Amino acid sequence: MNVRLVAIDVDGTLARSDGSIAAESIAELERVRAAGVTVVIATGRPWLVVERTAAEVGHVDHVVCSNGAVVTKWPDGHFERDIYLDNDVAEAVVNRLRDRIPGIGIGFELAKGAKAERGFADRLPPGVPMGPPVVDILDVLPRPVRKMMVWHDDYNDRTHHLQIIVQEALEQRAVALTSGLPFIEVSPFGNDKSAALDDLCAQLGISPGDVVAFGDEHNDVGMISWAGMGVAMGNAVDAVKKVADRIGPTNDEHGVARVLAELVP
């Protein structure tokens, strides 16, 4: 395989279980990049958070974030893709979810930071900018919404079950994804990491067959299926392992670095 681009999820993939990124992994990304391979971080994290991750890793060419809604060139931060939910769709989705799932909580990722109803801040990873909770998330409109976050106290440990319920309620208006955090992420229909990577590769003149993608969660299924070689981490959920071309070591075993050492001479 002629590896020309690697796309790497962060949480549960490049990052270890404690959230840190091993020096061995950073060194391997430096090596493959020096060999001419384009390195892309592909995460559900918002830009304001993953920007710090890219700076920590250093050896990065592009960042796909917000589950594919945003693509930036690193390190200049130029936005190559920036997709938002239509406000009418966002409002319709909120009303439908409230009608179908009583007690649901909803938040919006915005261009800068996020706004959410009470109970959401405690579910966020450190570093995500959050102001005080809003009483009704619809009051945030018409500010543009990159994605929605949906949660329910009855499903804290069963987010995949909540995802199924949410997706049924959404019909074809948007797509519901999980990323290992205790909430569901709702993105514009047809948008995910694979769609963003497909656009990026078209711009770069790189075939999907020359791409290696690493992931562990449900929001990685699309890009693992799309890439010429999809690598599921040893700690990945079954849905990712099912579509992967190979299963590597876990994130705590420097799985990304070890697989790249084999694939890129």
**pLDDT (tens digit per residue) in 181-233:** 788 889 888 889 999 999 999 999 999 999 999 999 999 999 999 999 999 99
CATH of domain 5-83+191-263: 3.40.50.1000
* Unique residue bearing structure tokens 């700690």: 235
Describe the strand order of the beta sheet including 105-109 as a list of residue ranges: 114-116, 105-109, 147-151, 184-188, 174-177
Instruction: Say how far residue 151 (Cα) sits from the centre of its chain.
Output: 17
Residue-wise pLDDT tens digits, 66-112: 999 999 999 988 999 999 999 999 999 999 999 988 999 999 999 88
78 Cα distance to chain centroid = 19
Rounded to an integer, what distance in angstroms lies between the CA atom of residue 251 and that of residue 234? Answer: 7
Q: Which amino acid is at 40?
A: V
The pTM score is 0.89
CA dist 197 and 7 (Å) reads: 8
pLDDT for res 128: 66
Percent of the chain with pLDDT over 90: 68
Q: What's the distance, CA 124 to chain centroid? A: 14
In the chain, which segments carry CATH 3.40.50.1000? 5-83+191-263
Residue 53 to residue 46: CA distance in whole angstroms: 11
All CATH 3.30.1240.10 domain ranges in the chain, comma separated: 87-188
Architecture of the domain whose range is 87-188: 2-Layer Sandwich (3.30)
Question: What are all long-range contacts of 204-212, with beta carbons under 8 Å and residues at least 24 apart?
Answer: 204/5, 204/38, 206/4, 206/5, 206/38, 207/4, 210/1, 210/2, 210/3, 210/4, 210/5, 211/3, 211/4, 211/5, 211/6, 211/7, 212/1, 212/3, 212/5, 212/6, 212/7, 212/259, 212/260, 212/263
pLDDT over threshold 90, residue 163: no
DSSP per position, 211-243: EEEEE-SGGGHHHHHHSSEEEE-TT--HHHHHH
Q: Residue 188: what pLDDT?
A: 87
Verify cis geometry, omega within 30 degrees of 0, for the bond prior to 75: yes
Q: Give the strands of the sheet with 246-247, arranged side by side.
A: 78-82, 70-73, 62-65, 38-42, 5-8, 211-215, 229-232, 246-247
